[in-house]
Amino acid sequence: MGIKLTELRKKKGYKSHETFSYDHELPRMHYWRIENGKTNITLKSLLRILAIHNISFEDFVAQLPKRSDRKIKTLKKSN
């Protein structure tokens, strides 16, 4: 999920999480932790971030890799 949020941020033209979080009044360290998978994200926080990107929860979830896709990528990395 964090990887996808990073992609969305970069598509919006933000190179750093710091500038993005500052411009959208998000706690900088908390946002960094979300993007890097270092914390669990609440639904409230996720919906707020998705609203910034003008993307619905349903569309966001549909873009996430399926569990089986992640297993295949993990296996490829370990070989």
**Alpha carbons within 13 A on the beta-carbon side of 39:** 12
User: What is the distance between the alpha carbons of residues 29 and 21, in angstroms, rounded to a whole number?
Assistant: 9
Give the pLDDT score at 24.
97
Could you read off the pLDDT of 34-69 as tens digits, one per residue? Answer: 999 999 999 999 999 999 999 999 999 999 888 765
Which residues does 52 contact at the CB level (< 8 Å), separation at least 6?
Answer: 24
| pLDDT of amino acid 69 | 53
Domains of the chain (ranges; CATH) run 2-78 (1.10.260.40)
What is this structure's pTM?
0.77
CA-nearest of 9, 2, 15, 4 to 52 is 9
pLDDT 10s digits, 14-25: 999 999 999 999
What's the maximum distance between 2 C-alpha atoms anywhere in the chain? 42
